[in-house]
A and B are shown apart, each in its own frame.
Chain A
């Protein structure tokens, strides 16, 4: 079975600070995808990134960056120079490449950026 753990339940920082959201996953499969989603108060899950288990390259998109380390089964997400609009609940998720496209989500981290 697959499992995703986001140990940080809530994080609160002041605007312009950098913040890292942790994600640790468990799976016996060697081929899988990892995801990050953002859930604003409206409730809709907004896709941020998908990484293939074969590709451990870190990725940067504007103020967002992701660090994928298979050796520690982690897929951490960093927001640089945070903004108030970044306030949301962030979910890390995993799905296997084989079979149904079932996403297994972590519990989420509620991020609050204070002005």
Chain B
């Protein structure tokens, strides 16, 4: 069984640019959540997607947007990058049903550096 995968592993962008990060959920999982982890901090919830719809959002501006595809993979898009967007971006997937409630399996993350 393949776990959660993310691409790319590392990324360097400059201020004002746009970036797309990708996540493939674990087989059978239909919910994907995204988190931002700044250096030395705990992860912060960005948003969650369930069956291709946004199902909850954290305190992030609209320039953070996402998509979930029919195969449950997901993208995180960030527009107008700022220096403070430099962080590790983590994707987590969850299995369906009550058994999957609140079980989140994390990918290795994408480290984004904004110069």
Q: Which residues of A contact B55 (CB under 8 A)?
A: 100
Q: Besides A91-B42, A97-B101, 20 other CB < 8 A contacts?
A: A43-B109, A44-B109, A46-B106, A47-B103, A50-B102, A100-B56, A101-B31, A101-B33, A101-B56, A101-B101, A101-B104, A103-B45, A103-B104, A105-B42, A105-B44, A107-B40, A107-B41, A107-B42, A108-B41, A108-B42
Query: Judging by beta carbons under 8 Å apart, are A97 and B102 in contact?
Result: yes
CB distance B45 to A102 under 8 Å?
yes
Q: Could you pull out 19 A-B pairs where Cβ atoms are within 8 angstroms?
A: A4-B42, A42-B108, A44-B109, A45-B43, A45-B106, A47-B104, A97-B101, A100-B55, A100-B56, A101-B31, A101-B56, A102-B56, A102-B58, A103-B33, A103-B35, A103-B92, A103-B104, A107-B41, A108-B42
Contact with A along B89-112 (1 / 0, CB 8 A): 010101000000111111111010
Q: How far is the CA of A13 from the CA of B101 in the complex (A)?
A: 36
Cα distance A4–B101 when bound, in Å? Answer: 20
Is the CB–CB distance between A95 and B43 below 8 Å?
no
> Min CB distance, A52 to chain B, in Å?
9
Contacts of A102 in B (CB 8 A): 33, 45, 48, 56, 58
Residues of the B chain whose Cβ atoms lie less than 8 Å from the Cβ of A108: 40-42
Q: Mark A87-115, 1 if CB is under 8 A from B, else 0.
A: 00001010101011111111110000000
A33 CB → nearest B CB, Å: 5
What CA separation (Å) do A95 and B48 show in the bound complex?
A: 13
Chain B residues with CB below 8 A from A91, complex form: 42-43
* Chain A residues in 8 Å Cβ range of B94: 101
> Is B76 at the interface (CB under 8 A from chain A)?
no
